[in-house]
Amino acid sequence: MNQNHRLSRRDALTAGTVAATAIAFPAIVRARNLNSKLRIAVVGMGGRANSHTSSLAELEKDTSLNIELAGVCDCDQRKTANAIRACQEKTGHEVAGYDDLRRVLDDKSIDAVTYATPNHWHALGVIWGCQAGKDVYVEKPGSHNIFEGRKMVEAARKYDRIVQHGTQCRSSQNIVEGMRHLHDGLIGDVYFGRGIAYKIRRNHGKNETQPAPDNLQWDAFCGPAPLRPYSNFHQTKWHWIWDFGNGEIGNQGVHQMDLLRWGMKIDQHPTTVSAMGTNYVQENLFKSDAETPGLLSSMLKWPDGKMITFEVRDWYTNAEAGFRDQYPFVQKDFPVGAIFLGTKGTMVFPDYSSYYSFLGDKREPGPSAYQPGSPISDTPHFRNWISAVRSRNREILTADILEGHMSSALCHLSNIAYRVDETLHFDAKEEQFKGNEKASALVSRPARPPYDVPATV
């Protein structure tokens, strides 16, 4: 795309189909009365959208926040229509429906957007939102690849937008308390972190192409990804397809990667990464067309000697560190969590709202906190974002987009090492691999105009 060519969103809408229009949004940062109602639209009405709309509808009741769930958007007309009805039931007022993200961004009455789209749309949605003067909340993982993650950070900074990343653990009071103990030296010097995401994943199914349904704009769904022939497999199982998703390590693992970075005070990329894995269960037991590994073990190391390992399993498994059997996860029967090893003891975070510590040779129980039900901290996370939007102070965000980029990159690096089947050496400053063309090619993706993520935001 010619970076010097600028079309308004409204001109783009009238210039023809999405696929035929070169789109580049100018910065439209309008002055906002910080005491006026904050009108928010939710984009992407899939599984996570219900959490977005439910949290925003709940926060509407807090009159001190003065917000309104004002709109919903999806390229699937049926999803949009269903979301309008559901949101009107939740809020008791009318909610606008949009069939095109650009219409949301062109609506000057919308102040902020949240993205619950598939991963491949996260970066471009955030960049366009920042360029249009909207503040943004984006689901995890923030990016589909490392290049996109950096562009999201650059856009947020350039247009001075408040961008929250959907790693909700950072807004959990219990998790914050546990991290405070960890940073205060409760278990001594933390020298090792381990994350696990063991989730039973049944048959993902076959890729059987067919005509796209009339209610779905398939080209818009693919967006920045390659335009594949339509199949229900692509639309519903996108997590397990490289063009659209990032596998389990990107889906669930980014939460635990974020905890590990946070707990170990890691603010740089690792320089050495290796990974091995297999998709044995999907390929052999189910004959599925899923592409991402169901079993993945990765190791990441930093120049100061800190090290993280992460493991994904997608079928029957033992528990680990008490996860599942002793500390049930919010999704029962799935061992998921983060483990820290220190010179004076250990600490575990087995869900989104709990921590436990064990001290000395005898593993004497130390400080801990547990909230029944292990709830996901969506509403506090949205509340934190709204507070930052109101104050225009990104410093109070619990999960600024830079944190999201750094944690998502650990998942991307692990996937890249698996895909090229080599131990990789990463230039943390330049965000490129040293002397490895195969790995470097996976730092970004080929552009698909008009949906290409710009090199200059």
Of 246, 198, 196, 259, nearest to 407 by C-alpha is 259
Residues 206-234 have a mean pLDDT of 97
Give the mean pLDDT of the chain: 92
Of 51, 41, 158, nearest to 95 by C-alpha is 41
20-59 pLDDT, tens digit each:
333 333 333 344 555 699 999 999 999 999 999 999 999 9
Q: Can 9-170+379-400 and 172-372+408-436 be said to share one CATH topology?
A: no
- pLDDT above 70 covers a percentage of the chain that reads 92
Pairing of strands 336-342, 190-198: antiparallel
Task: Tell whether the model's pLDDT for residue 419 goes beyond 80.
Answer: yes
Q: Burial code of 266-294, b = ≥16 C-beta within 10 A, e = fewer?
A: beebbebbbbebebebbeeebebbbbbbb
Residues 130-159 have a mean pLDDT of 98
Q: Which one-letter amino acid corresponds to residue 105?
A: L
Q: Give the pair of three-digit tokens for residue 226.
A: 């390659």
Per-residue confidence (pLDDT) for residue 76, from 0 to 100? 98
275-312 pLDDT, tens digit each:
999 999 999 999 999 999 999 999 999 999 999 999 99
Find the range with the poorest average confidence among 128-142, 202-216, 336-350, 363-377. 363-377
Place 218 in a pLDDT band, splitting at 50, 70 and 90.
very high
Per-residue confidence (pLDDT) for residue 119, from 0 to 100? 98
Neighbours of 74 (CB within 10 A): 29
Task: Tell whether the model's pLDDT for residue 196 goes beyond 80.
Answer: yes
Q: Which one-letter amino acid corresponds to residue 303?
A: P
Domain 172-372+408-436 bears CATH identifier 3.30.360.10:
yes
Place 18 in a pLDDT band, splitting at 50, 70 and 90.
very low
State the fold for domain 9-170+379-400. Answer: Rossmann fold (3.40.50)
Say how many CA atoms lie within 13 Å of 391 toward its Cβ: 11
What is the rounded CA–CA span in Å between residue 298 and residue 457? 32
CA dihedral 434, 437, 442, 443 (to 10 degrees): 40
Q: Give the pair of three-digit tokens for residue 115.
A: 């993205």
Residue 218 vs residue 11, higher pLDDT: 218
Q: 115 with 137: CB under 8 angstroms? A: yes
